[in-house]
Amino acid sequence: MGDLGGRYAAYTARLVDGVLASPGHTPGELRRAVLARAAQLSGSGSDASSPLSQRERGTRVEDATGASGETIPAALAAYADKVTRHAYRVTDEDLGALQRAGTSDDALFEVTVSAALGAALGRLERGLAALRGE
C-alpha cells in the first residue's frame, strides 16, 4: 500500500494543473492561494516523506506562506473556507451575496473547485500519513 500516492500521482498532478494553470476568470495566484489554504485547513502537513508527488507538495508548501488570506478577498476566503470545512452548509444566500458584490459565476466556479480540490488533497495526505502510522 506504500505506493498508493504514487500510483495516482500523475492523474492528481494533471487535475491540479487544470485547476491552477487553465485560463480562467480569476488569477491563477488566487486559485493557488485558495487551494493551498483549503489543503492546510484539511490537515495537509509538511512531511517530506509524503508519497504525494513533488509537484503537489510544491504547490502546497510554496503557497503556504502566501495563503494566509492577504491575496484572497475576505468574502471569498469565508466562502472557500465553508466549502472546505462543510460544503453541505453552503446556501443560496452565500452565493447570492458574492454575486451581488460582483463576483461572476465563472469566478465562483473556479474558487469552489479550487477549495474542494485543496480540501481533497489535504485529506488525502492526512489519510496516507495515517496509513504510514504517523
Partner 1 sequence: MRLRAVEHRHRLPQRLKLALIRLVSGRRVPDVVKTLLYRPEFFGRPMCDWTQAVMRGPSPWSVGERELFAAFTSHLNQCRF
Q: Can you give the binding site for partner 1, defined by CB under 8 A?
A: 8, 11-12, 14-15, 17-19, 22, 24, 86-88, 90, 92, 95, 104-106, 108-110, 113
Could you tell me which of 33, 105, 104 has the C-alpha nearest to residue 74?
A: 33
CA distances from 82 to 30, 51, 90, 91, 105 (A): 17, 28, 7, 10, 17
In the complex, least distance from residue 130 CB atom to partner 1, rounded to whole angstroms: 14
Query: Which residue do the cell numbers 476566503 mark?
Result: 77
Nearer to partner 1, 81 or 110 (CB): 110
In the complex, least distance from residue 30 CB atom to partner 1, rounded to whole angstroms: 14
Could you tell me which of 69, 93, 65 has the C-alpha nearest to residue 80?
A: 69
Nearer to partner 1, 70 or 93 (CB): 93
Nearer to partner 1, 46 or 131 (CB): 131
